[in-house]
Amino acid sequence: MAIGFSLAAPVGPIGVLTIRRTLAHGRLTGFVSGLGTATADALYGLIGALGLTSLAALLTAQSGWLGLIGGGFLIYLGIRTFRARPAALEGAPEQTASGLAGAYVSAFALTLTNPATILAFAVIFAGLNADIAAANAASAVVVVVGVFVGSAAWWLVLSTVTDWLRGRLNPAALVWVNRVSGLVIVGFGLFALARGM
Q: What is the residue-wise DSSP string for 22-37?
A: HHHH-HHHHHHHHHHH
Per-residue pLDDT at 87 exceeds 90: no
Least confident range from 47-51, 54-58, 112-116: namely 54-58
Write the CA distances from 25 to 56, 96, 100, integer angstroms: 36, 10, 10
- Distance CA(28)–CA(138), nearest Å, equals 32
- Binned at pLDDT 50, 70 and 90, residue 8 comes out as confident
DSSP 93: P
pLDDT at 57 (0 to 100)? 64
pLDDT at 123 (0 to 100)? 63
Other CB atoms within a 10 A radius of the CB of residue 178 amount to 21
Write the CA distances from 15 to 48, 111, 130, 143, 185, integer angstroms: 23, 11, 27, 23, 10
107, 36 Cβ separation under 8 angstroms: yes
pLDDT at 141 (0 to 100)? 78
Per-residue pLDDT at 34 exceeds 80: yes
Per-residue pLDDT at 35 exceeds 90: yes
pLDDT at 99 (0 to 100)? 86
The 10s digit of each residue's pLDDT in 171-182 is 777 778 778 878
Share of the chain above pLDDT 90, in %: 17
Question: Alpha-carbon dihedral of residues 94, 25, 178, 151, nearest 10 degrees?
Answer: -150
Domains of the chain, residue spans: 2-196
pLDDT at 39 (0 to 100)? 93
Contact partners, residue 177, CB within 8 Å, separation at least 6: 20, 23, 86, 169
For all residues of the chain together, what is the average pLDDT?
77
